[in-house]
Chains A and B, each alone.
Chain A
């Protein structure tokens, strides 16, 4: 791996984007989007996470193995959330005889 050194300009732009997204998520929270306020909040949070991971944590320049490990970790988090919620969300969908 040849070391990449990002410019001060890149880091500054990323910081400004992160601060702008923080302001955006705070302001949009007071707008009534119904069910979509959670979606909006999480979409903005994921964008911020990607900015921090790709630029500040240098995932852009990382080896393929590191990228694979990061994606694999997120996959396990998705499994944790999906399997747990597939239980709690579907409770009561089908009547259980005797209850």
Chain B
């Protein structure tokens, strides 16, 4: 168990570092792929909803602490994303959900829902919610899904 936790911790930290890198070099008009959310969705699909929610909060907290420097925002998004992804958890079929193309649409749904609920927070006073919705909710979901696709290709194509 400890080994597994340490593995997730290492994976989470790698996701945060990569996220920082992507924020700097791969952001398109401030929209960047959310690797941290992909990570928490992946964990929720493998370990279940409760573990996923806790993991989401911790990963989000570290991400806020090290990348956004605005405590609570990513925790909020990651907890919702893990919660949503947890509904797709099947104990008997962990690999199928976490390593196949299912991962792409599950992460897209989780991200969409979490980003949608985070709209009032990320809008930061911007009154044009529709623009923010298009840009941050749909934009981030689409951009992150591309990355999810890459991860699936690298990690789980043998299961497809």
Task: Report if A and B associate in a common complex.
Answer: no
